[in-house]
Structure 1
Amino acid sequence: MKKITYLLILFTVSFAFSQQQQYNLGFESGTPSGTLANWTTFENPSPSAEIITNPDPDGVNTSATTQVLKLIATQNSACYAGTINLHGTLGTWQLDAGVTSNLTLSMKVNKSIAGKVGIKFANATNGTVFEISDNQGLVTTLNEWVNLTWNISGFNAGDNVNIDQVVVFIDFTCGGANRTSDVQLLVDDITWGANKLTDPATCTDGVMNGSETGIDCGGNCAPCAGQEPLVAAPTPPARDAADVVSIYSGAYTNVTLDELPTIWSQLGNFSVMQIEGNDTWKITGCEFIGIVTNYTNGVNLTNMEKMHIDYWTPDTNPIGVKIVNTVDGGEAIAPLGTTVTGSWQSIEVDMSSFAALPNKTKITQLLIDPSAPSLLYIDNFYFYKVATASSESFTDSKVNMYPNPTNNIVNITSIENIDSVSVVNVLGQTVMNKLVNSKDFTLDISELNSGQYFLNLNSNGLKVVKKLIKN
């Protein structure tokens, strides 16, 4: 009896980190599955993904408060388009062929068109444990929650180790008829049993895993220094609506875009993320991103004098912006100058740089085009014309700056309200941006190196440049 007890203790200790667990991905706030950054979508054009409150409580999912994963694939998305969690974000597990609960997987779905939902497990080295896309996932009841169950007992034993990824194929049409429309899939309660090997990745485990872009930083963790912006892009000045054609900015009314990104864009992933509460485009592996305004009349940039774009990148590849008129024909590309890494760059391009396209009345496409794959953060992408100066225009004589030279602090006073200020070094690099919205303010330049700088003071679309010496 003592020997049996001892063996049971040894068995328990040996499998302390391999205990049977019932997994349920419910997408609730604060859980690994409910963290959108833990998921990515595939394939160009990548489906959209968001986690929302159940918009259609019915069928097998009647809760009006539960969170669900919403996926939308376009008609032209790949036949195998879907979503996958990032490595490590759900922990790791192993299936046990001797445990009944490990041999099936179930999922609640709500689908807008008839067709098959597919499922797949992959391990930490990208090995496929199983992939099922047959009629077990066929949905014929539309726009209502139903339950799907797959028999996963035929899993690949050789790859049944350190499983850490769940793949959902939204509308698996490979080998069958092409998709005839866009498709929406709502997902909830992905459930299976398995031996738990490790817990989900955290921001303190000393390993780059999950959604992290560095060791315990990036993704869901604190941003990695030098790899992603810690602050939002500068806020643009107020302008009359008639003076702006905004593609993307929270400061203005944006034009309606028919495609973002386009099916022919060459990039890794496109998403909208928040930085200090400000929506910002994040584009990974960007060779170029295409944007379509509309193919009927496009947007008219004839009267615009400047193009503005804010970018942040850790890469040094040169970046250009292309505008295209597919109605009348023609295109032109303008470079954004020497790429500066690790800080927001507010770029102003004179529209004369697009001289290769004289007819700018119907701009249907725009492209942001690095010379090599790059990680880009984009905000405040718009075209504008400079406001007509009044008799009380913003001029150098109406701005006072002191002391100059200075060691740390410079005081600025103005008759006109100043919207923002940027500090530029002699190499043309922007080393500081600050939103002001005041006539009087101070600027702390203590962290800048000694030397000569230029202060760009912006007021209602006008600019005054002051030279500043840092001791």
Structure 2
Amino acid sequence: MKKLFTLSLMMLFIASIAHAQTVPLDFESSSVVYTFTNFDGGDASVINNPYPTGINPSAKVGQMIKNTGQHWAGSLIVLENAIDFSLGKTFKMKVYSPKVGAKVLLKVENNSDPNLFFEKEVATTLANEWEELVFDYGAINSGQSYQKIVIIFELGTVGDGSADFTYLFDDIILEEGAIVADDAPTTPAPTPPSYDASKVISIFSDAFTDIDGTNFNPYWDFYQTTVGSIEAVEGNEMVKLRTLNFHGFELAQDVNAAGMKYMHIDVWTANETSLDIYPICQTTGEKK
């Protein structure tokens, strides 16, 4: 989706409708300690994203190394509160696998009784590329309490700790409703008006040269539920903001927009009723 911006230092998007979730786990917040409990040869940790490409340009991701041990080697993380499955029964998780067909088990478990659990297994379809896997939890007994999330790669196969048994995962999200394809535009954004390039400051556009170094997926606050990614419609790139409550773009350099009066942005939404957009200046604060 083509977008043009004429703005100063930052951009803040706020949607008037936030979609309630008990997760995501996106590993971005510097104020949260993500504590993994590894078992039987699994070794999970948070690392800098070594492949910030495609659908996952985020800075931090989870890494799972499956070492020699049991074939069920993996890791778990205990959430602050039990998962509220009345809000949705569809889990999504971004995965970067070294091979096609690697089985990924996503399991939820009671905090004190391991016999109370529900799990689904999905196989990867891409190698050495980020993809989003979908786990159907429609059959879960939501009357039980589940506070642990367990991740096991390639259940049934003993790992060896090599690159062939090293996986990345990110953006574990519980979504509302049944499993359906993400609402998204099927045609690209309209071609922007013909402007003199010397009079345009372009942040994200296929029509003009963008300024360098913009961070399109910064993490500003623990309460941010937005998951951002860069995707394409008919070869035209767009920034996709899912489960939006607020989100920002951070410019790598100061931009002098003195004398400019207009901001151009193409927006497509399936369900929001309003969108507030704020350019932010470090010295004067927000400007609506």
TM-score interval, smaller chain: 0.3 to 0.5
Q: TM-score, with normalisation over the residues of structure 1?
A: 0.30
Greater strand content: 1
Q: TM-score, with normalisation over the residues of structure 2?
A: 0.48
Structure showing greater Rg:
1
